[in-house]
Structure 1
Amino acid sequence: MTATAVLHEDTQIGLVQIRVSNLERSLAFYQNVIGFQVLRQSGREAELTADGQQVLLVLREIEHPQVLSRKQAGLYHFAILLPDRPSLGLVLRNLIASGIEIGQGDHLVSEALYIQDPDDNGIELYRDRPRDTWKRDAAGDYIMTTDPVDVDGLLAASEGLTWNGLPAGTVIGHVHFHVGSLAEAEKFYVAALGFEPTTRYGNSALFISAGGYHHHMGLNVWAGQGAPATPQNAPGIDYFTLQLPDRQEIAAAAKRVREAGYDVRETSDGAVLTDPWNIGIHLMVQN
């Protein structure tokens, strides 16, 4: 396969590993409120799944944790993509039953619900509208907004269905980070790694993707220009995986990142990168 200057169109987010302060408390939340299943648990780590096979989320308990600050670069939210609208409706029903505070937004390309875990790690749960309904503006950017979600419609779509946790077909759709500089983030994630911009909100936020998706990543400076990286002993994100079609695509991406002056570590199953705010990216071959 010929290497290109951008990530392959089939690139997808794989899993996300986050830090939590109390594994037992977080496991209860992620199973009962969100609907994950525990696939494996060992010591201070647990791997969570929706279908009983594919790991989507890893929880790592940290010792002597600091409180998460809103003035630091790092995780804004990770986003769980449901396969259809009735599934999102069932998620909403369970969130309402749990009594958790729920944010929401209709982004035209998708319908989304927003919550925080017990450590204030941000989580989005959403469903996409069909890709042929997504619209672009004159500059070629996807048109996205934040309108009220049709909550009654979501509940109606799931009427009479039974909540059994997250359904098969659930994946991690995207990740969204606070960064200290949009220019530096674009240099790393676009110019070096190979994502392509899809929507830009002035000098405050940038959305990027591979293969024409509305966004695999959101990047914003809402925590402040020059925001420092979240400490490793505070809740937040350790890393996420990017799944590429083959080792040649991984090698091409790693080469671009290395030539741009960033460190790359080769591994037995791919490559490991670290962005300017200490967020890890593991490049792996798709299952």
Structure 2
Amino acid sequence: MSSAAAIAAETRIGLVQLRVSDLERSIRFYCEIVGLQLIDRQEGTAALGVPDASQPLLQLREIPGAMPRPRRSGAGLYHFALLVPDRKSLGLSLRHLQGTGIHIGHSDHLVSEALYIADPDNNGIEIYRDRPRSSWKWDEQGHVQMGLDPIDQEGLLAEAGDSPWNGLPAGTTVGHIHLHVTELPTTEHFYIDVLGFDIVASMRDSALFISAGGYHHHIGLNIWAGIGAPLTPANAPGLDYYQIVLPSETAQMAVFARLQAASVPLRTQGGTLITHDPSGIEVHFVV
């Protein structure tokens, strides 16, 4: 892709808003298990983040009485990923999660080490740390090499030592988001040809990993809920929307122009540009 067509290199993922069935229970889970802090609480919603952050990372919206859906049951969230600043922080999270008795998945992706859990509504969560970019390996196609090895749990716990766990540390961000989509060709057209992300990895014909500025991935896109999977309904727990954060108003205007040129329906709300991807997933572009 020519640099003229690429989305701004400093683009990243911002706030994720989730629907939950029981706000009180979810606040407890995200504070006590995950380690986020409650920043703001309104009627039916809660914002959570980490110390010293100017913006929340997660917003919860209650859908009272909503029935949790099984994993992989529709287009929408597969997981959102909280990126901690160093390996010791990940070790502290691992030790804490082990103490809670929650089910923990884990994987060494070569570029990163990751822990996987699910909230009480089956919304997927990854907590991970990146290895230094200088250690990432790329092939001739410009694809980054990622693996699915077990993580070195003993090494992570040794990094944590006997330091206290005080929740997720300052500097934690939403590093990426991974979505179930309805099908890949139209999804690839939207995110690559229209928005200007780069493909950085793929898994046969079932998943794409895309990014801005040479990151290992800002967005994962898979068809593991089935080709043609309908969007998770708005009255069930799941993803309301996620933010793509652009570095400048110029970068936001470039996205606006590309969406218009591709005849993608969009609207603005304050300084936010709102659209939907081909699966119906709501995307907010903010500066």
How far apart are 1:52 and its partner, in Å? 4.7
1:130-145 alignment to 2 at 5 Å? 130-145=132-147
Of 14-23 and 49-58, deviating more is 49-58
**2:205 corresponds to:** 203
* Partner residue of 1:163 out of 162, 165, 169: 165
Question: Partner of 2:115: helix, strand, or coil?
Answer: strand
Answer yes or no: is the 8 Å Cα contact 2:176–2:217 preserved in 1: yes
How far apart are 1:202 and its partner, in Å? 1.3
Q: How far, CA to CA, are the matches of 1:62 and 1:71 in structure 2? A: 18
* Partner residue of 2:130 out of 128, 149, 172: 128
* Partner residue of 2:181 out of 176, 179, 182: 179
Q: How far, CA to CA, are the matches of 1:71 and 1:267 in structure 2? A: 31
Q: How far, CA to CA, are the matches of 1:26 and 1:276 in structure 2? A: 29
How far apart are 1:188 and its partner, in Å? 1.1
Q: How far, CA to CA, are the matches of 1:171 and 1:271 in structure 2? A: 21
The C-alpha deviation readout for 1:173-219, integer Å capped at 9, x for no partner, is 00000111011110111111111100011110000000000000000
Gaps of 5+ in 2: none
**2:102 corresponds to:** 100
Answer yes or no: is the 8 Å Cα contact 2:207–2:221 preserved in 1: yes
Q: Which amino acid aligns with 1:249?
A: A
Answer yes or no: is the 8 Å Cα contact 1:247–1:270 preserved in 2: no
Q: How far, CA to CA, are the matches of 1:5 and 1:208 in structure 2? A: 15
Size of the alignment, in residue pairs? 283
**Percent of aligned pairs with the same amino acid:** 52
**1:22 corresponds to:** 22
**1:60 corresponds to:** 61
Structure 1 length-normalised TM:
0.96
Q: How far, CA to CA, are the matches of 1:247 and 1:267 in structure 2? A: 14
How far apart are 1:140 and its partner, in Å? 1.8
How big is the alpha-carbon RMSD for the aligned residues of Structure 1 and Structure 2? Answer: 1.2
How far apart are 1:267 and its partner, in Å? 2.7
The C-alpha deviation readout for 1:34-63, integer Å capped at 9, x for no partner, is 111000000100000111542000011013
Answer yes or no: is the 8 Å Cα contact 2:68–2:122 preserved in 1: no
Q: Which amino acid aligns with 1:71?
A: S
**1:39 corresponds to:** 39
Q: How far, CA to CA, are the matches of 1:19 and 1:194 in structure 2? A: 29
Question: Partner of 1:226: helix, strand, or coil?
Answer: coil
Of 96-105 and 239-248, deviating more is 239-248
**1:251 corresponds to:** 253
How far apart are 1:268 and its partner, in Å? 2.1
Q: Which amino acid aligns with 2:120?
A: P
Q: How far, CA to CA, are the matches of 2:230 and 2:275 in structure 1? A: 18
* Partner residue of 1:224 out of 221, 226, 240: 226
Q: How far, CA to CA, are the matches of 1:166 and 1:200 in structure 2? A: 30
Question: Partner of 1:87: helix, strand, or coil?
Answer: helix
How far apart are 1:29 and its partner, in Å? 0.4
Q: How far, CA to CA, are the matches of 2:279 and 2:227 in structure 1? A: 13
Of 57-66 and 82-91, deviating more is 57-66
**1:79 corresponds to:** 81
Structure 2 length-normalised TM:
0.96
How far apart are 1:20 and its partner, in Å? 0.4
Q: How far, CA to CA, are the matches of 1:268 and 1:33 in structure 2? A: 34
